[in-house]
């Protein structure tokens, strides 16, 4: 195991094209680098059109192998019909005769957290299996898909529900809001986000009330600086002004997102009797199931429609079981990625005597472009100290700046974010050089390397005023991986027999021979 002593595995979302140029000396320059896929089938997603994301990226990095991931698992279960034969569906079906089926999730075709076509199939399967009354609680995207696309998604869903109503089913949208402001917080960063969703979905209370969801989204998007990610919560009301679909005793609830991290907090609010993060006011007795189980260690939720991938023999588990001392660190927004996701969707330690996990609290209550430096310096300092301490054989960190600030679409803030990530990596590599170690630097998906919308030829798109249209989502671009450090064996090299199947669209002028 001497070959892994005092090395660094650093996952840095979308910053690598900027990382490499500043490395100052021969000893610290990457001995090798390549471009690798971080999307589609290369990370277990259904198709080459599926953007990579932090969850599947860290699963693949931590496991060192490809597993069928959330979207693909759900696709297989829906296509085969097995989803309707499982214990999870049977559990919610018990409420169909007398209760309402509530579906809560991200209304999008981005393929990162959910997909519209899966929701459509689930709606069809639910009515085919006895659901008579259905309410959908939508969360608008604008992050994994283009901002403004929410209107089209809502119109599509409304048409589907109208068709169901014509067939005698009581099916409506009941509430909504933007994903970053309603429901979809993660890592317990801001429980107010979940509370806003709870108030709309369960209590039927929100600052805005509309007769239909298309009107709601169009009106709310007319507000200055409005965007899909941060739409305020709203409820749909009937002609008397009463909410059409609050969750009540005897109802069934399904959160249809397949990605785990932004559903765990709502799952806790729905399932935990001793929940104390906010005043739920009313806690309906429901049959709740996730699309998947969102936390295997916590067994949360207790019921789910599709079994999660069984990711075994992760690198973290392997190293610890062989006596290798490991250290993992990030700030709150990515802490779960270098721990939970890295370890195969498993919470906690394998062996706390050999592992140390450090979470640095993220900023709360502001958008990331307001403070683009985030906690990069603090993460780097923790990593540096861990490396120099001699207590650990492997150190892994995630610097989230390129991803989280890139999602805001603020190019100036993203430049600051990438620069501070560069500085942080330099601090870490300097420490590795001091101890004679090895570094591995890569990214879990693309984001900040391209921040404008493009046509099929790659040409930037302009709005009606001639301004560039901003891209806030992940990308399909390859990401660099670099290895180096004074401890790297002279004969170490990358494989050159891994096939590639796409043409680079980035501005790096990279040679296809560098792709793996």
402 in Cβ contact with 450 (< 8 Å): no
What the block records as the tokens of 373 is 């430096």
Rounded alpha-carbon distances, angstroms, from residue 149 to 145, 228, 326: 7, 8, 43
Catalytic status, residue 54 = yes
Q: Helix/strand/coil (H, E, C) string of 232-279?
A: CCEEEECCCCCECCCCCCCCEEEECCCCCCCCHHHHHHHHCCCCCCCC
Could you say which of 10, 25, 47, 54 is catalytic?
54
473 in Cβ contact with 434 (< 8 Å): no
Q: Residue 172: helix, strand or coil by DSSP?
A: strand
**191 burial class (0-12, 13-18, 19+ CB within 10 angstroms)?**
middle
35 in Cβ contact with 466 (< 8 Å): no
Phi and psi of 38, rounded to 5°?
A: -135, 25
**Helices 264-271 and 191-201: angle between axes, nearest 10 degrees:** 60
What the block records as the tokens of 113 is 């957290």
CA distance 283 to 191: 17
What positions carry a catalytic annotation? Answer: 54
């Amino acid at each position: 195991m001497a070959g892994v002593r005092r090395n660094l595995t650093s996952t840095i979302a979308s910053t690598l094209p900027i990382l490499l140029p500043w490395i100052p000396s021969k000893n610290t320059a990457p001995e090798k680098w390549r471009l690798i896929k971080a999307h589609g089938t290369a990370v277990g997603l259904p198709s080459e059109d599926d953007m990579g994301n932090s969850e599947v990226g860290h699963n693949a990095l931590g496991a060192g192998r490809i597993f069928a991931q959330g979207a693909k698992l759900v696709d297989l279960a829906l296509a085969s019909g097995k989803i309707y034969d499982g214990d999870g569906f049977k559990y919610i079906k018990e409420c169909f005769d007398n209760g309402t089926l509530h579906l809560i999730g991200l209304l999008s075709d981005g393929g990162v957290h959910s997909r519209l076509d899966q929701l459509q199939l689930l709606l069809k399967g639910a009515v085919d299996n006895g659901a008579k009354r259905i309410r959908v609680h939508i969360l608008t995207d604008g992050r994994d898909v283009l901002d403004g696309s929410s209107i089209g998604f809502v119109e599509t869903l409304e048409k589907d529900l109208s068709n169901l109503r014509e067939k005698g089913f009581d099916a409506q949208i009941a509430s909504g809001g933007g994903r970053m402001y309603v429901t979809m917080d993660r890592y317990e960063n801001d429980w107010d986000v979940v509370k806003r969703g709870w108030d709309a979905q369960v209590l039927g209370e929100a600052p805005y009330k509309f007769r239909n969801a298309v009107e709601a989204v169009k009106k709310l998007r007319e507000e200055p600086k409005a965007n899909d990610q941060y739409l305020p919560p709203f409820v749909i009301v009937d002609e008397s002004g009463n909410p059409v679909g609050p969750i009540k005793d005897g109802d069934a609830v399904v959160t249809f997102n397949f990605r785990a991290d932004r559903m765990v907090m709502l799952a806790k609010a729905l399932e935990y009797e001793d929940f104390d993060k906010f005043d739920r006011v009313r806690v309906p007795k429901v049959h709740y199931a996730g699309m998947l189980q969102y936390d295997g260690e916590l067994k949360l939720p207790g019921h789910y429609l599709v079994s999660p991938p069984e990711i075994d023999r992760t690198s973290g588990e392997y190293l610890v079981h062989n006596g290798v001392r490991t250290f993992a660190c990030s700030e709150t927004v990515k802490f779960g990625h270098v721990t939970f996701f890295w370890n195969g969707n498993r919470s906690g330690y394998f062996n706390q005597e050999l592992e140390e996990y450090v979470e640095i609290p993220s900023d709360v209550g502001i958008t990331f472009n307001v403070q683009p430096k985030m906690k990069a310096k603090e993460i780097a300092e923790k990593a540096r100290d861990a490396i120099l301490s001699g207590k650990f054989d492997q150190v892994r960190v995630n610097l989230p700046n390129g991803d989280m600030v890139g999602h805001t679409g603020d190019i100036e803030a993203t430049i600051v974010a990438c620069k501070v990530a560069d500085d942080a990596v330099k601090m870490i590599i300097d420490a590795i050089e001091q101890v004679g170690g090895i570094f591995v630097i890569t990214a879990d998906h693309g984001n900040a390397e391209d921040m404008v919308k493009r046509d099929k030829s790659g040409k930037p798109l302009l709005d009606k005023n001639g301004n560039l249209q901003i891209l806030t989502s992940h990308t399909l671009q390859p990401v660099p991986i670099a290895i180096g450090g004074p401890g790297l064996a002279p004969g170490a090299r990358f494989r050159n027999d891994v096939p590639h199947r796409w043409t680079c669209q980035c501005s790096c002028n990279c040679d296809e021979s560098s792709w793996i």
